[in-house]
A and B are shown apart, each in its own frame.
Chain A
Amino acid sequence: MGKSTVIPFGPQHPVLPEPLHLDLVVQDETVIDVLPQIGFVHRGLEKLVETRDYNQFIFVAERICGICAMGHSLGYAETVEELMGIEVPTRAEYLRVIWHELSRIHSHLLWLGLAADAFGFESMFMHCWRLRERILDIFEKTTGGRVILSVVRVGGVARDIEDSELAAICSVLDGIKSEYKEITDTLLTDMSVKNRTVGVGTLTHEQAVDLSMVGPFARASNVSYDVRSFGRGAYGALSDFQPIVDAQGDCYARVKVRCLEVLQSIQIIQELAGKIPQGDIAVKVKGNPDPGARAANVLEQPRGECYYYAQGNGTKFLERMRMRTPTSQNLAGMVEALKGCDLADVNMVILTIDPCISCTER
């Protein structure tokens, strides 16, 4: 063994879409320890709850992260609704889940494209983003926005989707499904991909449980935990929902779980589009949260469980709004997964964990 050397990784690095700094302690070519550092994109968004009322803050919440925008507005709205005892119309719950699952597809396709690009699979990167563009087009058509949708309101949703439009969405998703299967079959059977991912950055089931990992990162280590399986909102109307898990815990397992989750999301949207009831899409919200009222909520974001906490003070402004994002949970697991891997594999391990730093720092 040679002596230890510290190699700085990030915050600006070709493989990182967002700034994350890692001090990699290496001996020869093996990473023996990792010291993560964040704090490059902190914007103090939680503090804004003091100057934006509970209706206005939804637009701040969805700007926490561009990719998880729909999820954050949904998670925030559900928390405030619980705080104020608001019952949301069933049709609004279905529409929210449809948009949320579409955003999961768009997030996973974006990630798959970036991962393919890191593998050197340029053409696959383009195919993934080509398919993602169709999802963004659905967003544009149904909400008016491509990434920041501004469609969820406290008490429901701002826009309805007509039944004919839902049928059109299902047929677009059918087209995406067949092409997506070709892409994932290629990725998951390719020998060069397997060489770089199988047995790399392994996190065992015990480690994943001990470190409270969430999302596809945990599910790839055989932790069968998915907030969607609680059956809240329109998820309760699904005939069957089983989290996608894999037992291996390595980079390949994480790629596989995310690839299969896109197909699962397509299935959820198509099922809900067939079952969506007619009715109102929002209820009128009056009054303010009671002083001292508290509410907590969890939501399955594309990267895992996100926790929301709100506290009222009797005015239209909330006393406190707190979020714990999936990446802040998963950073501890990322450090463990990186220990023992080759320096050349660090990129791949980080990519398959898919950290979202802007969510984490807010």
Chain B
Amino acid sequence: MGSFHLGAMTLRSLFKKPETLCYPAQTKTPYAGQKGHIVNDVAGCILCAKCQKTCPCHCITVDKAARTWTIQPYMCVQCGSCVAACPTHCLSMDPSPTSIATQKSEVVCAVPEKDKDADADAEKAAS
């Protein structure tokens, strides 16, 4: 008897909208705030290293002398700690898929020189 109920339920599915998408022909629009890989808008980065301190997997390295911000994306667990800790909101998460890779590599972002006073003011405001 139970199988007839399940059969009826399955037959009803024929007249409903599909529950799945024909990926990759159809893709889902990401929700606001959905997780993804970390992106640094270097124009706003003040190299304060708060993201490095808060990261639970130690995948971010900030080099103030060389003015570089480096992330090892294959170590990142996308917890969002760095995004929440960033005082200038220059870090964000991008849910779009990254390109296929055959080797693990790190992403190095060169942070451009800024007005020293503006940098110091931003770091002071952040602390």
Q: Which residues from chain A sit less than 8 Å from chain B, CB to CB?
A: 52, 55-57, 59-60, 63, 121, 123-124, 127, 130, 133, 140-141, 144-145, 148, 150, 158-159, 179, 182-183, 185-191, 193
Question: How distant is B116 from chain A, measured CB to nearest CB, in Å?
Answer: 31
Known: A63-B77, A140-B31, A159-B33. A56 touches B54 (CB 8 A): yes
20 sampled A-B residue pairs with Cβ under 8 A: A57-B56, A59-B57, A121-B6, A127-B9, A144-B31, A144-B33, A144-B34, A144-B35, A144-B80, A144-B93, A145-B78, A150-B79, A158-B80, A158-B84, A182-B9, A185-B2, A189-B2, A190-B1, A190-B3, A191-B1
Interface residue SS majority, chain A: helix
How long is the Cα–Cα vector from A187 to B9 in the complex, in angstroms? Answer: 13
Question: Which chain B residues border A150 with CB–CB below 8 Å?
Answer: 35, 78-80
Question: Which chain A residues border B35 with CB–CB below 8 Å?
Answer: 144-145, 150
Q: Mark B33-59, 1 if CB is under 8 A from A, else 0.
A: 111000000000000000000111100
CB closest residue in chain B, given A124: B6
Question: How distant is A142 from chain B, measured CB to nearest CB, in Å?
Answer: 9
CB proximity to A under 8 Å, residues B1-34: 1-3, 5-6, 9-10, 19, 31, 33-34
CB closest residue in chain B, given A127: B9
- B33 in contact with A59 (CB, 8 Å): no
Known contacts A56-B54, A56-B55; 18 additional CB pairs below 8 A are A56-B81, A59-B81, A124-B6, A127-B6, A127-B10, A140-B34, A144-B34, A144-B80, A158-B84, A182-B6, A182-B9, A185-B5, A186-B2, A186-B5, A187-B2, A189-B1, A190-B3, A191-B2
Query: Which 7 residue pairs spanning A and B have beta carbons closest together?
Result: A190-B2, A56-B56, A186-B2, A144-B35, A150-B79, A186-B5, A59-B79
CB closest residue in chain B, given A126: B10
What count of chain B residues pass the 8 Å CB interface test?
Answer: 23
Inter-chain contact count A-B, CB under 8 Å? 66
How long is the Cα–Cα vector from A87 to B84 in the complex, in angstroms? Answer: 21
- B2 in contact with A59 (CB, 8 Å): no
Q: Which residues from chain B sit less than 8 Å from chain A, CB to CB?
A: 1-3, 5-6, 9-10, 19, 31, 33-35, 54-57, 77-81, 84, 93
Cβ 8 A contact of B19, one of A55, A133, A145, A193? A133
Question: How distant is B97 from chain A, measured CB to nearest CB, in Å?
Answer: 15
- A59 in contact with B9 (CB, 8 Å): no
CB closest residue in chain A, given B7: A123
How long is the Cα–Cα vector from A190 to B2 in the complex, in angstroms? Answer: 5
- A182 in contact with B5 (CB, 8 Å): yes
Cβ 8 A contact of B56, one of A52, A127, A141, A179? A52
- A193 in contact with B81 (CB, 8 Å): no
Question: How distant is A47 from chain B, measured CB to nearest CB, in Å?
Answer: 15
Question: How distant is B72 from chain A, measured CB to nearest CB, in Å?
Answer: 16
- B5 in contact with A130 (CB, 8 Å): no
- A59 in contact with B19 (CB, 8 Å): no
CB closest residue in chain B, given A149: B35
Question: Which chain A residues border B56 with CB–CB below 8 Å?
Answer: 52, 56-57, 59-60
How long is the Cα–Cα vector from A316 to B57 in the complex, in angstroms? Answer: 16
CB closest residue in chain A, given B77: A59
